[in-house]
Structure 1
Amino acid sequence: MMNIAGVIVEYNPFHYGHQLHLDRTRQLTGCDAVVAVMSGGFTQRGEPASFSKWARAEMALRAGCDVVLELPSAYAVQPAEWFAYGAVAVLEATGVVDQLVFGSESGSLEHLQTVAMLMEQEPEQLQQSIRDYLNQGWSYPAALSRAATASGLLSTEAVAMLQQPNNTLGLQYLRAIHQLNSRITPLTIQREQSGYHDLQPTHEQIASATSIRRMLQHEPERVAAYVPPATWEIMQREIAAGRGSVQMDALWLPLLQRIATSSPEMLAEYYDMNEGIEHRLKRLLPSLPEPSVNQLIDSLKTKRYTRARLQRLLAHLLLGHTKNSLNEQMLRRGPGYLRVLGFTQRGRSLLKQMKSTASLPIIMRAADCEHEQIILDIQATVMQASGFTVQQMRDLYSDYYYPPVRV
């Protein structure tokens, strides 16, 4: 039997830090192949991906992944809990993945497991404290951290872990493995050199994806030093073709049109539109100092509504995600298919094996599937591609035209 490792990624875009994670995954597991679950047109923080999912899948394959599967956008544009649940469910459904290897600031699986199991037990003392902090206007991550401190149920070290983004995702991966009764073994690798949101590189070769996206916007020639040659080659090709890099502000007009032509009551039907924020959205829009998504987010931001939460909220508006289409019952059922974005020669053999082990249908093209979630994936692809500088129908509707990438 093959030994298969799984990774959960966005590769927005792929860089040397990701390469280090992949190399260490192979060293740690001694695996025969790596399966990556990757966000499609939009990412977990609610931003359009800088490059298409096809270009990013090619980056992954040329760097050492063997199969790239798409994380349905129903889970990709979500807080850590649902993002992790959907991604782990995809890996579990393959029937071949033995280990999930994720990066964390902690690097200690034992500490992460302790916190994850406490969160799974959901002691009433902790839950009530979280509700109290939420009612005071704190975001969920901040409320959880403060509640854990106040309750005394966690050590100071464990509470500190809750305030770091990769630790937060790692905790949710562990919870999802438990909730899904998965046979996958979790392993963690300590994240080094560059912080998740660092705006400037702090190492000669490793920079955060955030800083690389910033460079792409302002100093694109600097990016080559922080990404593998194959990634840089793909980036240059995509930029020359007018397919990147996409910024959230490129989607300002469709977002403006959606808000301006919707009543507060209509806006209230969209996913995560709660506590009357639809009224603030309508009220603040005409008074923005300049027409941009960033200005809108800055005007809306509060203790409770963090930048990431607001970006996701605006992404749900852009993508037409309603409370009906993304209800908890649907999300809890898990993904409805395994969408293949690309594979290597070794990956081809693995996909043949998955035909007999997978608990979900394996989809090569959108036309092969009628599941409700794939409609949301197509919408995400269209909206992300509408941010390209050159518009072509084959790019907008690439889900119907493009076969999986083969490397």
Structure 2
Amino acid sequence: MQKAVGIIAEYNPFHKGHEYQIQQAKEQTGANIAIILMSGDFVQRGTPAIFAKHQRTAMALLGGADIVFELPSFYACGSAEYFSSGAVSVFNALNSIDFLCFGSESGEIDTCRFLGKLLADEPKLYKEKLRSFLKQGLSFPAARKSALAEYLKEKDIPFSEDFLDTPNNILGIEYCKSLAAQNSSIAPVTIKRIGSSYHETSLSSEYPSASAIRRELIAAWNTQKFLSDTLKNAQPPAVKDYLCALLENETFLIEDDFSLLLKYELMKNTPESLCAFSDMSPDLARRIYHHLNTFETFTQFAEQLKTKELTYTRICRALLHVLLNIPSDLPAISPAYVRLLGFKKESSSFLRILQKNSDIPIITKAADYKKLLPKEVHSLFEKDLFASNLYETVKCNKKSTAFTNDLQKPPIIL
């Protein structure tokens, strides 16, 4: 009997650490199918992905993935809570995922499950402490960390506050929280992260971070250099060969490639209308409006808007939601579909199992979405199409290549 392990990812871009996680996920769970739910052309930190979703799908398949689905854009660009809740909801709806595997700095699944269950239950004392820290002006991540630490201390439960200082631990807790809140039968498994930390920008490690690879790509592009041998060694051989061939004719995108489009969208809004977008608080909306005359680039403006309460990533997500026209009520919806981005030929039999068992339509041909989805869901899928077509437009303009509509792009098959 086949077993499937699910992985929620961005692969921005794919590297050796991702290959290691897929290998370990299969080995530790006994699964023979790795199903990836991957962000599309924009990612959770509020930026465009460095490569388009179909290109990153090809890298994932070359690096060990068996089937790749797209996480809808309104989940993919949300906070850690919405991102994880939406992704877990999709995996639950597929009715064929046995395990959910995620990387973490700690490698401690029991701690992730315990804290996830606690946050799903939200004890009264914890909620009181969280409100208290938020009123003191702390950002939500800082307030939650302090509230958890005080709650556990009063309950005499051993806990290291450092556990909540690392991004993969935090996201792992959110996955476990979502599994608990949704009463999911999917079993969580964590793989201890090896090599560079999430934010490390050096390529010196055998397992460098995606951040380091992005930094090297941008530096190589700005100096018109070819990719260094160090960068090539950061990826599995097949992925490295694919990326090098890709960059002979293609380009990549960064936040500032969208600067003019973003400013245009911001200029159309008032502080009141900005509040209709996801992750946009009244305070941030006012700051955007009053500082708009100093807008130069996406990154410069986000940095300028930062405060003690508003983190850079939170601001980027809010700005991205304005750019993609994602309103505040969308992330709360239940999954209504999932799109197939690619698969290996030998996994086609399991893909048929997924199609048979799934509670939601699996879209294999994007152009057929109106036939497959209820009319009230069309606008949601069209959000994904708009995001990808916007990304494609900017990429084609940057490289002076022909535009291909997302409706015309078939799944990648290897």
Aligned to 2:233: 225
**How much has 1:218 moved relative to structure 2?**
0.2
Query: Per the alignment, in what secondary structure is the counterpart of residue 227 of structure 2?
Result: helix
Query: Per the alignment, in what secondary structure is the counterpart of residue 58 of structure 1?
Result: helix
Q: Does 1:368 align with 2:373?
A: no
Aligned to 1:390: 399
Query: Per the alignment, in what secondary structure is the counterpart of residue 394 of structure 2?
Result: coil
Q: Distance in 2 between matches of 1:158 and 1:167?
A: 12
Aligned to 1:301: 306
Q: Distance in 1 between matches of 2:287 and 2:174?
A: 31
Task: State which of 292, 300, 315 in structure 1 corresponds to 2:297.
Answer: 292
- 1:13 corresponds to which letter in structure 2? P
**How much has 1:172 moved relative to structure 2?**
1.0
Task: State which of 227, 247, 258 in structure 2 corresponds to 1:239.
Answer: 247
- 1:140 corresponds to which letter in structure 2? F
How large is the RMSD of aligned CA atoms in angstroms? 1.7
Q: Distance in 2 between matches of 1:145 and 1:262?
A: 34
**How much has 1:156 moved relative to structure 2?**
5.7
- Is the contact between residue 68 and residue 342 of structure 1 (CA under 8 Å) also seen in structure 2? yes
- Is the contact between residue 148 and residue 154 of structure 1 (CA under 8 Å) also seen in structure 2? no
- 1:175 corresponds to which letter in structure 2? K
- 1:236 corresponds to which letter in structure 2? C
- Is the contact between residue 21 and residue 189 of structure 1 (CA under 8 Å) also seen in structure 2? yes
Query: Per the alignment, in what secondary structure is the counterpart of residue 106 of structure 2?
Result: coil
Q: Distance in 2 between matches of 1:46 and 1:355?
A: 31
Q: Deviations over 1:336-364 (max 9, x none)?
A: 11210000022211111122211111101
Distance change (3 Å), C-alpha of 1:100 and 1:154: farther
**How much has 1:327 moved relative to structure 2?**
5.6
Aligned to 1:313: 318
Q: Deviations over 1:254-279 (max 9, x none)?
A: 00111123222322222222133222
Q: Distance in 2 between matches of 1:314 and 1:156?
A: 39
Identity of aligned residues (%): 33
Q: Deviations over 1:50-95 (max 9, x none)?
A: 1111010111111111110111111101111111111112222222
- Is the contact between residue 6 and residue 35 of structure 1 (CA under 8 Å) also seen in structure 2? yes
Q: Distance in 1 between matches of 2:245 and 2:255?
A: 21
**How much has 1:384 moved relative to structure 2?**
2.1
- 1:240 corresponds to which letter in structure 2? E
- Is the contact between residue 51 and residue 238 of structure 1 (CA under 8 Å) also seen in structure 2? no
- Which TM-score applies when normalising by structure 2? 0.91
Q: Distance in 1 between matches of 2:366 and 2:156?
A: 45
**How much has 1:316 moved relative to structure 2?**
0.2
- Which TM-score applies when normalising by structure 1? 0.93
- Is the contact between residue 69 and residue 340 of structure 1 (CA under 8 Å) also seen in structure 2? yes
Aligned to 1:206: 207
- Is the contact between residue 46 and residue 317 of structure 2 (CA under 8 Å) also seen in structure 1? yes
Q: Deviations over 1:294-320 (max 9, x none)?
A: 110111111211111111011101101
Aligned to 2:187: 185
Q: Distance in 1 between matches of 2:402 and 2:318?
A: 27
Aligned to 1:136: 136
Aligned to 1:350: 350
**How much has 1:180 moved relative to structure 2?**
2.0
Query: Per the alignment, in what secondary structure is the counterpart of residue 233 of structure 2?
Result: helix
Structure 1 unpaired stretches of 5+: none
- Is the contact between residue 197 and residue 208 of structure 1 (CA under 8 Å) also seen in structure 2? yes
- Is the contact between residue 59 and residue 234 of structure 1 (CA under 8 Å) also seen in structure 2? yes
Query: Per the alignment, in what secondary structure is the counterpart of residue 342 of structure 2?
Result: strand
- Is the contact between residue 7 and residue 36 of structure 2 (CA under 8 Å) also seen in structure 1? yes
Distance change (3 Å), C-alpha of 1:391 and 1:374: farther
- 1:221 corresponds to which letter in structure 2? L
Q: Does 1:40 align with 2:48?
A: no
**How much has 1:155 moved relative to structure 2?**
4.7
Decide which moves more: 93-102 or 260-269: 260-269
Q: Does 1:165 align with 2:160?
A: no
Q: How many pairs align?
A: 396
